[in-house]
Amino acid sequence: MTYDMNLTDLTPLIISASIILTALVIGIIVYKWFFKLLIKISHSTDTELDDALLKSLRLPFSGLIVLGGIYVGIIYYSNVPQAILNKALSVLLIIFLILAFSRLIFNAFDWYAQSLKGNTRTPVNSKLIPIGRRASVIIIYIIGTLLIFDTLGINISPLIAGLGLSGLAVALAIQPTLSDLFAGTYVITEGSVASGDYIELDNGISGYVVAVGWRSTKVRTVMNNLVIVPNSKFSETVITNYNEPRSSLNVIVQCGVSYDSDLEEVEKICREVMTSLVDESDSAVKEFGSYFAFDTFGESNIDFWMFIQAKDRLSSFSLKSELIKRIHDAFNHNSVVINYPVRTIQIESSGEEN
Q: Given 3-state DSSP classes, what are the helix, strand and coil percentages for the chain, each rounded to the nearest 5? A: 60, 15, 30
φ, ψ at 344 (rounded to 5°): -100, 120
Could you give the CA distance from residue 160 to residue 148 in angstroms, rounded to a whole number?
A: 14
pLDDT reported for residue 267: 93
Residue 127 burial (C-beta neighbours within 10 Å; 0-12, 13-18, 19+) = middle
249-333 in CATH: which number? 3.30.70.100
Question: Where are the domains positioned within the chain?
Answer: 9-153, 186-241, 249-333
What is the reported pLDDT for 179? 64
For residues 179 and 215, give the distance between their C-alpha atoms in angstroms, rounded to a whole number.
Answer: 9
Residue 129 burial (CB count, 10 A): 16
pLDDT at residue number 332: 92
For position 5, what pLDDT does the model report? 45
Q: Edge to edge, what strands does the sheet with 216-220 contain?
A: 226-230, 216-220, 206-212, 198-201, 239-241
186-241 and 249-333: same fold? no
* Contact in structure between 338 and 281 (CB atoms under 8 Å): no
CATH number of 186-241: 2.30.30.60
β-bridge mates for residue 212, sequence order: 217
- Three-state secondary-structure class, residue 111: helix
List b or e across 97-111, with b for residues whose CB sees 16 or more CB atoms inside 10 angstroms.
bbbbbbbbbbbbbeb
- Across the chain, which has 354 residues, the per-10-residue mean pLDDT values are 50 72 80 76 68 72 76 66 71 79 76 60 57 76 80 70 61 58 65 80 86 82 86 80 79 92 93 92 88 91 92 87 94 90 70 51
One-letter amino acid identity for 222? V
